[in-house]
Amino acid sequence: LFFDLFDTMGTLLAIAHEGGFTRNGELPRLDKAMTADAVGSVAGALFGTSTVTSYIESGAGVGVGARTGLANLVTGGLFLLAPFFTPLVAVIGQGVEGGGNPVTAPALILVGILMAGAVREIDWKDFTEAAPAFLTALLMPLTFNISHGLAAGIVTYAVVKTAAGRSREVHWLIYVLALLFLARYAWLPA
């Protein structure tokens, strides 16, 4: 649950920023989106399905202009048809059974391109901003987990700002989160 919270938060904020839905760095009605994700996670677990959560791949839709929810309905309809095409997907490359995912590669590449656009907003001249951002961006793909990247970024942000004598710039909640992440990794290794 701890990492689901940060996976969802990171995904929602990244996609909302890309779609222009944020106001002053905040996402209106974030509580409703988080509640929907939490209910989906609990319901998915009750029915024995894979995790029901927000996926960063949704950024592909937002990147090409999806805004109203119609794209979600079309995607849902196509997912209902997907089981009938499983044999075809299995033939492409190694397919689902071979462990490869050649069909999802184009969507992931598009999402990566869209996310790379946010890099221009980082103040690369300020080490206390650049180091946490760099570690966050680096560790997300290396660990295959958004939450691990966010954890590294939050901990690094708190440490670097404090070491630079700029602890007043850090919201108290960042320190709390940094301590929680450190405790999590100390007692529950990844």
Predicted pLDDT of residue 138: 92
| CB 78 within 8 Å of CB 92 | no
Residue 102 dihedral angles phi and psi, to the nearest 5°? -65, -20
How many residues are present in the chain?
190
Predicted pLDDT of residue 97: 55
Ranking 62-71, 77-86, 119-128 by mean pLDDT, the lowest is 62-71
Helices (H), 64-145: 70-81, 86-91, 105-116, 127-143
Please, is 190 exposed, middle or buried when counting C-beta atoms within 10 Å of its C-beta (0-12, 13-18, 19+)?
exposed
- pTM over cut 0.75: no
pLDDT tens-digit readout, 83-138: 888 777 666 655 455 555 566 677 677 777 777 777 888 899 999 999 999 999 89
Helix (H) or strand (E) holding 39: helix 30-47
Q: How confident is the model at residue 46 (pLDDT cuts 50, 70, 90)?
A: confident
Predicted pLDDT of residue 190: 60
The residues, any chain, with a CB within 8 Å of residue 128's CB and separated by 6 or more, are 157, 160, 161, 164, 166, 169
Nearest residue to 34 via CA among 57, 15, 62, 53: 53
